[in-house]
Structure 1
Amino acid sequence: MSFVQDMIAQYGYLALYLLLALGIVGIPVPDELLLTFVGYLASLGMFDYSLSVGVSLMGAMTGMMVSYWAGRRLGKPALRKYGKWVKLTPKRLRKAERWFRRYGPWTVSFGYFIPGIRHLTCYLSGVSGMTQRKYLLYAGFGALFWCLFFITLGYFVGTRFDFTH
């Protein structure tokens, strides 16, 4: 987390955008902690709350679209070949496909709140052939709610407690 704090301190909103985009794609970034920390900084007046939400949403949407297009372009062959690295066996892949056909759009929206799932749902949306318009609608709703939740949490924790002493 100290790396994330240093990046935010040095590069501000640009670091927020890039870290979230990379985190959604699958690079190990503590996304929820990052958003909560940004909310805390907003409570101190070091970041603007609304701008933080907007930049976070753009970073999340960028990462989501990269994953979606990777799913569209690379598809199931990549999952079959490299799925073992993320413990996605052929049996689990079939189970995930059934689940996704039934609950896909809502899984994309609420999958943000489950680390690991949010990365996979974006990719599976592309693999499954979900239209970009439908994907953007459900993923955008989920991303907005996710960003708002954690930034607001950090903001209210920051206004309630004095961590400087």
Structure 2
Amino acid sequence: MANLIPLLQQYGVLIVFAVVLVEQIGLPIPAYPVLIVAGALAKDGDLAWPGVLAVSLIACVISDQFWFHAGRYFGKRILKLLCRISLSPDYCVSQTEDNFKRWGPKALMVSKFIPGFNTIASPLAGAMGTAKATFLGFSMAGGLLWSGTGIVIGAYFHTSVAQVLGILSTMGTTALIVLGVLLGLFVTFKYVERKRFRQATQMDRITIDELKSLLDDGHEPVLVDARSATAQSLEPAVPGALLFKGGEPIPELAALDKDSHIIVYCSCPNDVSAAQVAKELLAHGFHRARPLHGGLEAWNAAFAPAPAASAVEATEVVSQ
């Protein structure tokens, strides 16, 4: 902390560019405080704010373009990878998909302000086939808004920023310990939150081998697609599967025998969406409802789709 101002004064925009680029790529580097400090220095005449804004915007656009094209090329796989390495992997895909579906490319203007959403907004835009020019426009607008806000905050509170950094510099090692403790508390909170969420969706899964045994024994399990509407548009549902839309499904599931084998699948980490839907079905009396371990990926690996003249269309389950 004590060296932050001298570093910015000496290397200026290079430090801002490097930190913002690394943070936007996905590493847990706090770029926004650096922008705020740079804004304070710009107010005091130690840095040129147009240069700070320009390099921050360029770093944002480079990162966004990288993830956008990764999403276009790898599709759903890159989203699952990013969610697996995030601090909230169990539900970041579905939440971001729903937000992006609701707002469209305009979501890119505010995505950088929302933890988790920023992680996969750009690759999701690529996976959904957003036009390159449209993406670039909203990406630049979002980067400009995010960078400019940090610089303006630093300029407005430049006196307070200098005072805080001065106090931290006098604290020396103590300041680093305090920051380390705060970071540790944050990570612990996210871990506990994740653990509680997993416990809430803890239940027996059915494996692909068990599902094959059911089919070999002559059973006809009902498949339910628990993915978000966006995920369903990115990757087709299993032929014949019911598309779950949340709430109490009717009329197809309501007309089924309560002893029916119901297999719920999704494409999210740890099968959490499938487990949530399976628990809802259990609450409605379907005591043989189970989530599929491995989800749609496991199904596709085990039952490679064969060419057919006509495929059974997925039936949409409408919620009340």
Task: Call closer, same or farther: CA 1:84–1:151 in 2, change over 3 Å.
Answer: same
Deviation at 1:80, TM superposition (A): 3.4
Conserved in 2, the CA contact under 8 Å of 1:43 and 1:159? no
CA-to-partner distance for each residue in 1:116-145, whole Å, 9 max, x for gaps? 322221121112111111111111111111
CA RMSD of aligned residues (A): 2.7
Which residue in 1 is equivalent to 2:146? 146
Query: 1:47-86, aligned counterparts within 5 Å?
Result: 47-80=47-80, 83-86=83-86
1:132 aligns with 2:132: yes
Q: Given the two structures, how large is their TM-score scaled by the length of structure 1? A: 0.83
Describe the SS at the equivalent of 1:27.
Answer: coil
**Structure 1 or 2: more helix by fraction:** 1
Q: Which runs of 5+ in 1 are unaligned?
A: none
**Structure 1 or 2: more strand by fraction:** 2
**Aligned mates of 2:158, 2:98 — CA distance in 1:** 42
Percent identity over the alignment?
A: 25
The letter of the residue matching 1:56 is: S
**Aligned mates of 1:146, 1:68 — CA distance in 2:** 18
Q: Which runs of 5+ in 2 are unaligned?
A: 168-320
**Aligned mates of 1:161, 1:3 — CA distance in 2:** 14
Task: Call closer, same or farther: CA 1:159–1:92 in 2, change over 3 Å.
Answer: closer
Which residue in 1 is equivalent to 2:104? 104
Conserved in 2, the CA contact under 8 Å of 1:39 and 1:150? yes
Question: Number of paired residues?
Answer: 164
**Aligned mates of 1:16, 1:97 — CA distance in 2:** 31
Which residue in 2 is equivalent to 1:158? 158
Which residue in 2 is equivalent to 1:15? 15
CA-to-partner distance for each residue in 1:59-86, whole Å, 9 max, x for gaps? 1111111121221222212333563332
Q: Which has the larger radius of gyration?
A: 2
